[in-house]
Amino acid sequence: MSFTEFQKTVNLSKQRIYSEAFAQYRQSIRVKKEMTAVKNLSRIFDATLRISNKKGFPSMTMRDLSRETGLSMGALYTCFSSKEDLLEMLQRQGRLIVDRFLKQATEAETEPRAKLNGAVKTHLYLSEAMQPWFYFSYMEAKNLTKKQAKMAVDSELYTEQVFLDILNEGQERGVFVPRDYRLMASLIKAMVQDWYLKRRKYAKRQVSVDQYADFVLALVEAFCLAPQEVTTLNQEE
């Protein structure tokens, strides 16, 4: 799947998930009509990401948010019960989308190299399609409650584990040579993160997400691929 197609499916699923978010938070939300709630919540989430990614969530005031959304303070507080509650909702709905996409994507391939390729591309595509949310989650991790922070760390470790499992399986099957794959998985994660953390730098240099993905994969394979696989690769070309 190309990135453009991927982007579309993410946007579609966003709408569904906003509705689900409303259902889940119905208790803590005063607004009763779903349409109003979803419409406002999506504006609020977008505005929160825009403002927070400029000056940080703790420095974003409710008056900032009121200005950016065009809603009054009163209207804002019918959608959430506190600033902390807003953070939690934003956090949760983002993870909902991410989890859904990552789970479905890892099931497609079976061959280790194709699996690795798929995993890296899915992660990069997803972080590109939801860049503001990924950036926000990384930078505001400190402001989360203990429970929320643990979930954030867990989901990061889960990602790493996906890479690690693929690398280990590849080694067992003789596709990859023995290496410290724990460390390798961490570094793949680090490189994937750099893509959304330094989004502007790469945009300025006109590096596309596909170029980035291919480069990271080539780098990792140069280090991990067994010699016979490299030969196979050359014959294919």
Partner DNA sequence: GTCTATACACAGATAGAC
Partner DNA sequence: GTCTATCTGTGTATAGAC
Q: Quick check: 63 binds a copy of itself (CB under 8 A)?
A: no
CA dihedral 152, 157, 161, 162 (to 10 degrees): 30
Size of the site for a copy of itself (CB under 8 A): 32
Q: Measure CA of the first residue to CA of the last residue in the chain; give whole Å.
A: 22
| Burial grade of 93 (CB within 10 A; 0-12, 13-18, 19 or more) | buried
Partner from a copy of itself, DNA, none contacting 139, C-beta within 5 to 8 A by type? a copy of itself
Partner from a copy of itself, DNA, none contacting 111, C-beta within 5 to 8 A by type? none
Question: Contacting a copy of itself (CB under 8 A), which of 198, 203, 231, 232?
Answer: 198
Q: Quick check: 23 binds DNA (CB under 7 A)?
A: no
Q: Quick check: 55 binds DNA (CB under 7 A)?
A: no
Q: Quick check: 145 binds DNA (CB under 7 A)?
A: no
Contact 112, 176 (CB under 8 A): yes
Q: Quick check: 165 binds a copy of itself (CB under 8 A)?
A: no
- Classified as helix, coil or strand, 5 is helix
- What 3 state SS string does 146-182 have? HHHHHHHHHHHHHHHHHHHHHHHHHHHCCCECCCCHH
Partner from DNA, a copy of itself, none contacting 191, C-beta within 5 to 8 A by type? a copy of itself
Q: Quick check: 205 binds a copy of itself (CB under 8 A)?
A: yes
Taking the complex as a whole, the smallest distance from the CB of residue 103 to a copy of itself amounts, in Å, to 23
**Which one-letter DSSP state was computed for residue 225?**
B
Q: Quick check: 83 binds DNA (CB under 7 A)?
A: yes
Q: Which residues contact DNA (rule: CB under 7 A)?
A: 30-33, 36-37, 40, 60-63, 70-75, 77-78, 81-84
